[in-house]
A and B are shown apart, each in its own frame.
Chain A
Amino acid sequence: MLALRNVSFSYAGAQAVDDVTASFEAKELVALTGPNGSGKSTLLKLLARIMLPHAGEIAFDGKRLRDWSARDYAKEVAYLPQDPDPVFSMRALDVVVSGRAPFLGRFAWEQDIDYEEAAHALDLCDASHLTDRYLDEMSGGERKRIFLARVLAGRPRLILLDEPLSALDVSHVQQFSALLRDIVARTGVTVIYATHDLNWAAAYSDRMLVMQRGALALDATPEVVMQPDAIRELFGFDADTVRTGGRAWLVPRVGS
């Protein structure tokens, strides 16, 4: 579905993404991890066609991103920035239905079908009860659900989320991770999400990508990533792996 070949990007001389090659298929939940500044956000923006790579190519359905029109691509691929914040508070339903924008004509307003899709997306995110609430009346977790519903409202085939779990408490991290898993299973969409939380990423994702200084250092199953040696090399800290419930959990070593 999506293929990257030797993709590089730099900001005014500083290399942010360095020679990344990878490919993604349908119905995958992929966690994109790596230390701060390792290029996760930049990579997601490149995949979302917000910026075009300076070298290499990204292709969706075999067609280069630069050859897709912005609107057509937006119908297939949806992106959620790290901290979306409409300056003026909006009603949840208006936020979600705005996810249908790529399908609207120049002077057109949303039709019934768009509201049906929005209601369906809210339902998928367990957020139907928030439909008429305003963003400034919601908790962080509720807002995240609304923005996830907005991304789903266009029924994209690929969803890119930039740190959707940041600033959530533990129970919400689990709920949201399970929600992502559930949405992938039910809709067949592929989700690539950036996250710092290795344990939750390993518990819920099919595959983990680890970025390091712009390069793709490791692209493997959680089982492979969650090894003490790999963690020391990629993230620079010592940890033990504890196996429980059939999964590996990282426990950082204290005072080492």
Chain B
Amino acid sequence: MSSVRQRSSLAGAFALLALLLLLALLLASSLGATSTSWRAALAGDATARSILIGIRLPRALLAALVGATLAVAGVTFQTLLRNPLADPFILGVSGGAACGASIATAAGLARLPGVVPLIAFAGACGATGAVFLLARRREYTDPTRLLLSGLVLNAFFSAVILISFGVSRQSDLTAALRWMMGTLFGASWSDVALLAVLLVIAMITLAAIGNDLRMLAFGEDDAKSRGVEVERVKLIGFITASIVTGAAVSVSGIIGFVGLLVPHLIRMIWRRDFRFLLPLCALGGGILVVLADLLSRVVVTSAELPIGAFTAVLGVPFFLSLLRRNR
């Protein structure tokens, strides 16, 4: 195996998944409650344009970005913590976001546009900071303590969320619940732009420490002896993955499974190191959430079902079939 073959196999996998993502985006923007077509929109039909370009396309793109973000955060946390069960939510990131959002709802702030996502993002960042400080001993961050702190804080956040719901007004609760179940309803081009910029910055940052991150797979002592500045790499990886998770959660609510499932799916097909998995996870996560979002809005036309349920419905059978084949 030469370096050329190595790179061309990544390019092949990347091209395949990129094509699938493109098809998924096309499908998601073409299907919906109102029947319309890209042909009509391109011909200048104003209604078709406003539905496709104003509503469906940003929603599909946001789904792709949210999926990509969660999967990228997932593969980063799994590599960083050397734990196959780590995902973006286990460290309290989503709990913090949900906690912020539910307190905002209880305080009656849900009716002001843009406030809930902002407070959710602040909650995610706060939770991440808290978990990281709790896990830090002297100069060292213990991965097990990190997971444990996240788990315990998540329990605390659940309690706060229940209390907040108890004191919220009935009329505010529907929106809050929808957010908790994950929704891309009302996705805007500004959401797309914001998340796209953050994701690109995160991917570049993670690629820059990609060589070091993959060395962590062999353990921290081993990585140190190979010239990796372990604490610095852990800090950069942890903060980067947490910030993008917080941003994704603030625009989409909580969409489960993606961060856990996609890295494992990709790893089952291409058993390679972090640098290889990073771009493939981004595409795989995008595909999964675009399709899940499509299903969530077309399965029944009278209501929108939670996306998180469909990421599981789509991902779990695929995952199990790969698990059986790889035995």
Contacts and interface: CB of A to CB of B under 8 A. Distances in A.
Partners in one complex: yes
Nearest to A104: B211
Given A102-B226, A102-B227, A109-B275, A81 B211 contact: no
Contact of A112 (B4, B221, B227, B229): B4
B219 A93 contact: no
A74 B271 contact: no
Contacts of B208: 106-107
A204 interface: no
Count chain A CB atoms within 10 A of each CB in B1, B4, B82, B84 and give the residue with the most. B1
Contact of A74 (B207, B217, B225, B272): B225
A87 B222 contact: no
Interface stretch (A43-51, A223-231, A237-245): A43-51
A88 to B, nearest CB: 6
B273 A81 contact: no
Interface string A183-214: 00000000000000000000000000000000
Given A106-B208, A112-B2, A114-B3, A49 B225 contact: yes
Interface in B65-88: 78, 82-84
B211 A106 contact: yes
A81 B221 contact: yes
A236 B208 CA distance: 52
Interface residues of A, number: 44
Interface string B213-233: 011011101101111110000
Interface string A100-128: 01101011111110110000000000000
A87 B211 contact: no
Interface size class of B (residues with CB under 8 A): 20 to 34
Contact of B267 (A88, A106, A111): A88
B251 to A, nearest CB: 29
A25 interface: no
A85 B216 CA distance: 11
A109 B2 contact: no
B7 interface: yes
B6 interface: yes
A70 B207 contact: no
B226 A87 contact: no
Interface in A72-98: 72-75, 77-81, 84-91, 93-94, 98
A81 B227 contact: no
A83 B84 CA distance: 19
A87 B82 contact: yes
A79 B267 CA distance: 28
Given A84-B218, A109-B7, 11 more contacts: A70-B224, A70-B229, A81-B218, A81-B222, A81-B225, A85-B218, A86-B217, A99-B226, A106-B208, A114-B3, A115-B3
